[in-house]
Structure 1
């Protein structure tokens, strides 16, 4: 084999070896593991949101706004009815968003996950 190709092959293999060392993932079983460079694996429990279908609570806000607008429209007459309809829609939207958020929290849409990383100190 040609000497330049040998050196190039060794350089490529060394680069791949370094890249794979940095791409390593660690789990809770590695917590406290120490390395020769003085680094170690540290794990933390992090609260994360589980994937849900409506994270921005658009459904609850829209439903609350419609219901609030209908209720507000039943109050008053003339221009007072318009103000009551808009006020009811705004208040209903806020209440609907809050109700949906409480429902998501009750269902446990957040989970605690252990994330581990290598810390250099």
Structure 2
């Protein structure tokens, strides 16, 4: 039981140290200077806000189904199984690509203010 408590305590210490290292800065911190000579600098960055499906799951799934159905029409026996799998993989990749291009063309572009600590 004591071993589990030690592991949990060490895990909490590691998590706390990573949390301290992952400092984020906002526009209110702009110009803030630190003892090591670094300062917070903010920039306007154009960010694309795509559609509701940033991981392109719908395009991948649709392409995989269509590719699998087309691949299933080819060959016989084990060749038919292989063609179905290959068709699903190729169709999924094509569907993901098509959806990505569509989202990039139709996505909204937004300007965000992003701040980071610059070291000298």
- How far has the Cα of 1:108 moved from its partner? 2.5
**Matches of 1:118 and 1:107 in 2, distance apart?**
33
Q: Which residue number in structure 2 is paired with residue 65 of structure 1?
A: 64
**Matches of 2:118 and 2:76 in 1, distance apart?**
67
**Matches of 1:73 and 1:26 in 2, distance apart?**
56
Bigger Rg, structure 1 or 2:
1
Q: How many pairs are equivalent?
A: 94
State the Cα deviation string for residues 2-61 of structure 1 (Å, max 9, x = none). xxxxxxxxxxxxxxxxxxxxxxx648xxx8x899xxx98743122334263111110000
TM-score for both structures, normalised by structure 2: 0.58
- How far has the Cα of 1:78 moved from its partner? 1.5
Q: Are the equivalent residues in 1 in contact too, given 2:67–2:92 (CA < 8 A)?
A: yes
Q: Are the equivalent residues in 1 in contact too, given 2:50–2:106 (CA < 8 A)?
A: no
- How far has the Cα of 1:75 moved from its partner? 0.9
| Long gaps (5+) in structure 1 | 1-24
- How far has the Cα of 1:119 moved from its partner? 7.7
SS at 2:54 equivalent:
coil
TM-score for both structures, normalised by structure 1: 0.58
